[in-house]
Structures are given as structure tokens and as C-alpha cells.
Copies of this chain bind each other. A is one copy, B any other.
Amino acid sequence: MSIEKKLFRAGPYADFFSQGVRVGDSLYLAGQVGMTEAGEIPSDLPSQVEAAYKNIAAVLFEFGATMDNIVDETFFVTDMKDCMRQVPAIFETREAAYGKKPEVAQTLIGVSALVDPGLKVEIKIIAKF
């Protein structure tokens, strides 16, 4: 017998991984990138962060969760210097996405590449119920 998983599959890779997996009180999201639902990639980092949070909120919604359920987020960014220059705008975008001061742990890492060369950010989320 296996554990009971709740899945939310969507998008072109729906056969290969789930956008979210819930087991018990834990919900793990697939890394969400700075691409809009229409498949467009904004050219600036704050807009990509905004798009990533919209994707995150959409996955949470499928599990009956909201941004309040997030406990941990890891930011992977491709250009740390650009990120640090835009910290105020990014934090403003984040606070708007959460609707309050985010009650989450955060880790920020500079990486060498994401799945598309135009992407500047990917956010990995853990949520709890």
C-alpha cells in the first residue's frame, strides 16, 4: 500500500510531474517560474516575481489553500546583482502577493540557469495545512 497523495497536474509537463503534491498536512509545489499564464516572460525581475506568485496562488487554490498556508520559500535567481538592486520593488511585489508582511522563511540563491533562458526567477514553495 502506498501513501495517499492529492495531485494537481496541469500544463505541457502534466505527465511528468505534478504542480503540487499534498500528503497529510504538507503541500509541496513544483518550482514556479516568472512566466504568465499566457506563456509570456516579462523582461524585468519584479514583474517575473509577480507572475511567479500568481502561478503559486493558482496552484494553492487547487488545494483549497491560500498564500497564508506558505511556510517556506526558496528564490532561485539568475542575476543576483540585478536582484539586490531591485530589492525594494521585489519586496513590494511580494508583500502585495501575500497581502501582508510575509510570514514565511526565505532563502535566496543565485543560480547559473533556469529552464528557459529568459527566466530570471523560480520560486519553490512549501505550504502547510
Q: State the A residues within 8 Å of B (CB).
A: 2-3, 5, 7, 15-21, 23-26, 28-31, 66, 68-69, 71-74, 76, 80-81, 84, 91, 94-95, 101-115, 122, 124, 126, 128-129
Contacts and interface: CB of A to CB of B under 8 A. Distances in A.
Interface of A is mostly: mixed
B104 A21 contact: yes
A61 to B, nearest CB: 15
Report how many copies the assembly holds: 3
Contacts of A105: 17-21, 28-30
A32 to B, nearest CB: 9
B24 A80 contact: no
B31 A107 contact: yes
